[in-house]
Structure 1
Amino acid sequence: MIMFQPHVYATVFILSILQAFALDSYIAAVYEHSVILPNVTGRPVSSEEALTLMNKNMGVLEGAIKAAAQQGAHIIVTPEDGIYGWVFKRDTIFPYLEDIPDPQVNWIPCTDPERFAPAAVQERLSCMARNNSIYVVANIGDKKPCNSSDPKCPSNGHYQYNTNVVFDSKGKLVARYHKYNLFMSETQFDSPKEPEIVTFNTSFGKFGIFTCFDILFHDPAVTLVSKLHVDTVLFPTAWMNVLPHLTAIEFHSAWAMGMGVNLLAADTHNTSLAMTGSGIYAPDGPRAFHYNMETEDGHLLVAELSSLPRLSPTYPSAVNWSAYATSVKQFSPDDHNFSGVIFFDKFTFTELTKPEGNRTVCQKDLCCHFSYRMTEKQEDDVYVLGAFDGLHVVEGEYYLQICTLLKCKSTDLKTCGEPVATAHTRFEEFSLSGTFGTSYVFPEVLLSGVQLAPGEFQVLSDGRLISQSGTSKPVLTVTLFGRWYEKDPP
């Protein structure tokens, strides 16, 4: 006789309930928050002062959460650093931190606030979720005590983590994630010893979560999708836009397409640091996005997504990213190639000198092919095709293979690769492909005014990024952004 343990029965029962009430689609929300920042004093404030500031920000977030719930949203994502900002050192951020327990403790802070007190921030977030019957995703700071027996224990006796928390529609803490890939300025936080792979199940799909800079690395980002097969990734971020390839809406929408997953990206809003760009992205394109460098206002996005995108009829087919490019000969000789720099990386460029044609440019093992026909070509709009195959080593170390068509800042070819936000030339059609050595390639199309082009391009199974009917606005860049994770430094 086979004996089943009670917890096995419980697990089967819970999964059966989730399947019975599973939703084919759900309403997602993200809020781009203009954070109320603390005064830079250079000294730690009291815990009371810290909580006063955090309550101001949570008051704004609560308004967005209520508005999202009133529009039927099942889940809302708020930004990284959205409750206290980022102007901290290790000691000055400490009063803002709480000890966040493992979600396995089965805790609803809203109804049992003293169980892991002091936890005023967790209590309020939990009540926001419970009172509005909505999943709430927020980014706060976690502190974990350590002692001298741990050789890596910081001098203040605490590890400090940049942390995402998720509260379900009853207010229960269901997920906690400590950011693994810290950005270079995040000296106030520690990185966990190993990357945490955090998922949770709902009646509207399986979710994974990570934070900002994590998206450029294999762990935990790729592992969540390729091994744990999450349906949707939750992504609080404080993303500083870098043209031409790394603006928030551009790269995040491309990552969702390249990975074949929903992505809910909530960015911090601060135009002085070029922080803006939030979106609700599906594998076949964005459902809603926001980019605003004109004002300091927050912004709520709400849109519908498939709960199980892999079962959707619009789910993209598998792509062999090098199939087409390796089957064709080079379109043009390389005797007119020149070098230029994009975000500190040395690209090889070739100019598009005619209003239509075919061009090839190569660097190391990567050859990029581009076929095109322009319309409304402006004399002062200069476009180049570029290739980069190498290790990026500035704010982090990661290996890139990039094929890109981009507009130069001026008619001087030395400006090619510098940030530019406007263009005047439209393309009636184009096709971009490359001989990639990696299967992780993210397709980007960015239009004048830093806007996306939903429905105006597609990726073919042979690795071509094409547009056959033109774009609605002039083109800034058409890019295949490849990440070769196996070539990253250990």
Structure 2
Amino acid sequence: MEKFLLTLNVQHGYAVANRVNLLASNMNNVTAGNGGSGIYGSNGAVLSYYISGLGSSRLLISKVGSNVQQSFRTQGLKGFNTFNGKTELDSYITQERFDSNRFTIRKIELSTGVETVEKVCQKKFCCEFNINAVVPTIEEVYQLVAYDGEDSKESKIRGRIRICALMVCDSRGESCASRSILSTTKFLNISVHTEAKNEKEHFYQPVTLRTKLTPLEPLTQEESINEDIRTINVFTKNNTDIILFGLYGRSSGSTIFISSTLLVFVVVFRTLF
């Protein structure tokens, strides 16, 4: 579902899930909503990236460490210097259409010094979030979202998908995961946990986003299999400016065309910029 997928967080999530070093280059065609390239470490580090609303390019150079030796699963790899100002991204095109009626959405209450554990489900697919945060004096609204099913006919993704995420919303809870919404809550620790039937054709990866359209770091994904149950955990710590944090799964039979892709999770239809 392209509302949750932007080029950089797809690239980063792939590197994190597979624990590989990744160099990804994307055509920068702003009129079509294409753009975003990066170099990512097998430890989940975002080493270098470029994303722009301008028809331009940049050479990315970074030192990449040796990948830690690991025994890959029998199916092999799964799934398939920065700008600080907003002006550079003003022309970047993102998807706006979103049908919130197909999702399970619920508000979550966060308190300083209190460990918050909340679960969100759709059908038999459930995710549990564990959060330690320092909240500001001015209340910020966060909601959990879950989805398990086929994507819409209008989507560029085909096949069954699963999504669970924490997202920041406006004060009315009507518009969520927009980079125009202030997010100052400090997340000391945040994790998402899910258990699902071990379907080998399903690939899971983190999906995270900041207001600058960049993924969160540090970021870790762990998976384990016990008989026919697959357990997936995604962790991050000491982050602010979080507008989206969660998990995205799809069947390997799904076809994804990453063009403008991601986010923009908007409960009420609106324009990001």
TM (normalized to structure 2)? 0.67
Candidates 433, 452, 467, aligned match of 2:215: 452
* 1:268 positional shift: 2.5
Candidates 349, 363, 366, aligned match of 2:105: 349
Residue 47 of structure 2 aligns with an amino acid whose one-letter code is R
CA distance in 1, matches of 2:157, 2:219: 31
- Does the CA-based 8 Å contact 2:17-2:205 persist in structure 1? yes
Matched, 1:470 2:238: yes
Matched, 1:266 2:35: no
Residue of structure 2 in register with 1:396 after alignment: 157
* 1:406 positional shift: 1.0
Residue of structure 2 in register with 1:253 after alignment: 12
Task: Describe the shift of the 1:460–1:258 C-alpha distance in structure 2 as closer, same or farther (beyond 3 A).
Answer: closer
- Does the CA-based 8 Å contact 1:361-1:387 persist in structure 2? yes
User: What stretches of structure 1 move > 6 A for 4+ residues in a row?
Assistant: none
CA distance in 1, matches of 2:13, 2:37: 13
* 1:381 positional shift: 2.7
* 1:431 positional shift: 1.5
Residues 412-441 of structure 1: CA deviation (Å, up to 9, x unaligned): 23323x643552222111121122344511
Matched, 1:483 2:243: no
Any unmatched runs of 5+ in structure 2? 74-95, 225-231, 256-273
Matched position secondary structure for 2:196: coil
TM (normalized to structure 1)? 0.39
Task: Describe the shift of the 1:316–1:349 C-alpha distance in structure 2 as closer, same or farther (beyond 3 A).
Answer: farther
- Does the CA-based 8 Å contact 1:365-1:435 persist in structure 2? no
Residue of structure 2 in register with 1:387 after alignment: 146
Task: Describe the shift of the 1:342–1:263 C-alpha distance in structure 2 as closer, same or farther (beyond 3 A).
Answer: farther
Residues 41-64 of structure 1: CA deviation (Å, up to 9, x unaligned): xxxxxxxxxxxxxxxxxxxxxxxx
Candidates 168, 180, 191, aligned match of 1:407: 168
Residue of structure 1 in register with 2:229 after alignment: none
Residue of structure 1 in register with 2:38 after alignment: 279
Task: Describe the shift of the 1:401–1:287 C-alpha distance in structure 2 as closer, same or farther (beyond 3 A).
Answer: same
Residues 287-317 of structure 1: CA deviation (Å, up to 9, x unaligned): 3222233x4432110223457x3xx26x699
Residue of structure 2 in register with 1:189 after alignment: none
Q: For 1:2-151, what aligned pairs fall within 5 Å after superposition?
A: none
- Does the CA-based 8 Å contact 1:403-1:433 persist in structure 2? no
Matched, 1:441 2:204: yes
CA distance in 2, matches of 1:316, 1:445: 27
Matched position secondary structure for 2:15: helix
CA distance in 2, matches of 1:403, 1:362: 8
RMSD, aligned α-carbons: 3.1
Residues 155-175 of structure 1: CA deviation (Å, up to 9, x unaligned): xxxxxxxxxxxxxxxxxxxxx
- Does the CA-based 8 Å contact 2:158-2:254 persist in structure 1? no
Percent identical among aligned pairs is 21
Residue of structure 2 in register with 1:427 after alignment: 187
Any unmatched runs of 5+ in structure 1? 1-215, 217-241, 319-340
Matched, 1:292 2:52: yes
Task: Describe the shift of the 1:480–1:296 C-alpha distance in structure 2 as closer, same or farther (beyond 3 A).
Answer: same
CA distance in 2, matches of 1:443, 1:375: 23
CA distance in 2, matches of 1:413, 1:351: 8
Task: Describe the shift of the 1:474–1:406 C-alpha distance in structure 2 as closer, same or farther (beyond 3 A).
Answer: same
Task: Describe the shift of the 1:380–1:299 C-alpha distance in structure 2 as closer, same or farther (beyond 3 A).
Answer: farther
Residue 234 of structure 2 aligns with an amino acid whose one-letter code is L
Residues 232-280 of structure 1: CA deviation (Å, up to 9, x unaligned): xxxxxxxxxx55x211111111022223434322122244544331112
CA distance in 2, matches of 1:353, 1:461: 28
Q: If each structure's strand is expressed as a fraction of its own residues, which one has the higher value?
A: 2
Task: Describe the shift of the 1:349–1:289 C-alpha distance in structure 2 as closer, same or farther (beyond 3 A).
Answer: same
Q: Which has the higher contact order (CA 8 A, sep 6+)?
A: 2
The higher radius of gyration belongs to 1
Task: Describe the shift of the 1:305–1:287 C-alpha distance in structure 2 as closer, same or farther (beyond 3 A).
Answer: same
CA distance in 1, matches of 2:208, 2:107: 19
Q: If each structure's helix is expressed as a fraction of its own residues, which one has the higher value?
A: 1
Farther-moved stretch of structure 1 (442-451 vs 399-408): 442-451
- Does the CA-based 8 Å contact 1:399-1:485 persist in structure 2? no
